[in-house]
Structure formats: C-alpha cells, structure tokens
A = this chain, B = another copy of it.
C-alpha cells in the first residue's frame, strides 16, 4: 500500500458519496485519518455506530486540522457549508466538493474562500440509486472517472495541491480528468442530468395513467420500464439542486430531446417506418462503444439473467 496522500481529511456530509470516500480512504490508505461531520445528528450517530471514522461534533471542529476538506452535500448547500468551513481551515489546505454541477459549485466555494486555502472543485462520476451513510462502499470509485475543475492561472502551490488531490482520487481507484467547469456542466447535462429527469418523469406518467393500474406497471415492468426506475430512486433533494443549478444546459438538452421525440411521434402517427428504423439503428450503435470503453458491464440485461440473480427471484 502507498503512503497516505493526506494526513487528515474531513468529509462534510455523510451520504452515499461521503461514506464511500470515508471507507475507500481507509481501505486504500489514501488518508491517515478520516474526520466526518453531518448536519443531521442521526447521520452523525449512525456514522459513529458503523465505524466510518472520527465523527466531529461541529463543522468547525471537523475541518480545523484537515489537509483536505471534501464537501459532500447537495449542490444547493455547498455555499453555506463552505462559509462555515473556510475560516476554520488550516493555511494551504484544500477545499473540494463532489457536486454534480461544477459552475455553481465553484462559485459557492470561491465566494467562501479567503485566499488562504486552495479551492479545487471536483465530481466523481459514480453512484448508486441509494442514499445515506449505510449506502456507501469502498469500491464505488474503482474504474470511475473523477473530474476536477481547477482554476487556471494559479500559482505553483495551487498546482501542487491539485496534483495531491488527483493522487488522492487515483488512490481510491478513480481515473482523474481535468476540465473547464462550463464544459463539465454541458457534458453532464446530457450524460447524467437529462437521463435522470426523463427517468423521474416516466415514472410520474405511469402513475397517472388511469387506464393502467400501478400494480400492472410494477408487474410487467420487465418490459423495459424497470430500467428507468433505478435512477428514479435517487435522492430528490440532490437532484432538485442539480436541475436548479444547471438550468441552462439542462433546458438546452431538454429542448432538443423534446424536438427529437416529436419527430418520432410524427413518424409513428403517420406510419413512417423508415424514419423509425433510421433513428433506432443509429441509437443502437452506442451501446457497444460504452461497453468497449469499460463504462458498463458486458453482461446482457445488466447481468440479471446470471444464475446468481435468478436464484434470488
């Protein structure tokens, strides 16, 4: 095992991501000590109970001796957490986050900064549909991308801090990439934010369809619907904040999505099979590219038909 990158990290917000970082930092020796804080007393108690690390009684106490403070709260709460953390942080420490929107997260972090610390926003492209301190696990970031959106034109100390933060994430098993925050938000709008919105929406549509009962939707969900329900089970507060903080890019994607859907709708209405075949054939090709890039399992049907899965049924 390599040397710890940081002697002490502070994780603020102990949900799926925060608790996964805590577990991974210990498991892969990326931090000497893990301090945790969550605004929710129940979450703090639970974090202590399951041994995620040293749980601090206050935000101030959690960050005061940390080399790296990782803010793992919904995007809308990053500003308030950063404002409470920064005055108590060590000179030269790193302040980062894991928010799914980077332009607004960076603004919130920078607004709180006093120039004594290094603000380096980040976003791990990893997660599950579950939430809370029990949902995390050490291997969550293995093979996943971690995007950093460092400021440009900074001094050498900032570059050294950025390198250390990248090394930390690599030690958790992630592949690290640097990107401009605006670009991040445009890319994630289509690869993550729009898919979640669509998934939430189709479930709502199914609920409200008077001609079909909810029990039937559940019963026959293996026809395709169940695939959407996984990401629709994600945390509502986190996702509200994503949409409200990446409004322009999401609305742009959504406009194009609706436009494209209108083309398919018209083709169905007028019996234009050629258009359907053309678009479906185009769509089909991307699956192979994603599997070849190691971004999803090669197993058909998400491995649901493997013997293990079936025994559970």
Chain A positions near chain B (C-beta within 8 angstroms): 100, 125-130, 135, 137, 139-140, 142-145, 147, 186-188, 190-209, 211-212, 214, 216-234, 236-237, 239-240, 243-244, 247, 250-254, 256-258, 260-261, 264-265, 267-269, 271, 273, 276-277, 279-284, 286-290, 293-305, 307, 309-310, 312-313
Query: What's the dominant secondary structure at chain A's contact region?
Result: helix
Query: Is there contact, CB below 8 Å, between A257 and B202?
Result: yes
Q: A268-B247, A302-B303 are in contact. Are A277 and B190 (CB under 8 A)?
A: no
Question: Is A302 in contact with B302, judged by CB distance below 8 angstroms?
Answer: yes
**Do B191 and A223 touch across chains, with their CB atoms under 8 A apart?**
yes
Chain B residue with Cβ nearest A220: B191
Q: Are B224 and A251 in contact, CB atoms less than 8 angstroms apart?
A: no
Expressed in whole angstroms, the minimum distance between the Cβ of A46 and any Cβ of chain B is 18
A221–B191 CB distance below 8 A: yes
Residues of B within 8 A of A197 (CB): 261, 264
* Cβ-defined partner of A239 (8 Å) among B276, B287, B296: B276
The answer to whether B302 touches A237, judged by C-beta atoms less than 8 angstroms apart, is: no
Taking a contact as CB atoms under 8 Å apart, the answer to whether B268 and A223 are in contact is: no
A208 to B259, CA, bound (A): 12
Q: Verify A283–B191 contact, CB threshold 8 A.
A: no
Residues of chain B within 8 A of A218, CB atoms compared: 286, 289-290, 293, 295
Q: How far is the CA of A204 from the CA of B116 in the complex (A)?
A: 46
Among all A-B residue pairs, the 10 with the closest Cβ atoms: A192-B223, A236-B280, A233-B287, A195-B224, A302-B302, A203-B283, A143-B313, A128-B300, A128-B301, A240-B276
